[in-house]
Amino acid sequence: MQEVSHSGAGELRLDALIADLWWRVRLLNTDIIEEEARAGVFDAQQPTYPVLAANLRARRDNLVSTIGVLEQRARSTSEAA
């Protein structure tokens, strides 16, 4: 019985982590838009694209990838229960 409740608590923590990471992705998206607007360059392929925006994009993309792995783990955990 304790394993089930412990597993449920783990799922809740994982869900909370995923929600927090999505919140951070939204913050990064806002920061990217603001930096692009400040520089007046919106195409990441342009040589004048702001370095900060490029770095924020990379961080955001890494977070989205991590979220995908965590969501897959959460699904497999809930299916196993």
User: Residue 16: its pLDDT value, please?
Assistant: 95
Contact indicator for 53, 35 with CB cutoff of 8 Å: yes
* Mean pLDDT of the region 69-74: 94
| Cα distances (angstroms) measured from residue 48 to each of 28, 38, 52, 56 | 20, 12, 11, 16
Q: Is the pLDDT of residue 65 over 50?
A: yes
4 pLDDT tier (thresholds 50, 70, 90): very low
CA 43 to chain centre: 22
The structure tokens listed for 61 are 């993309």
Higher pLDDT, 39 or 77: 39
75/61 Cα distance (integer angstroms): 21
pLDDT in tens, 6-59: 556 667 899 999 999 999 999 999 999 999 999 999 999 999 999 999 999 999
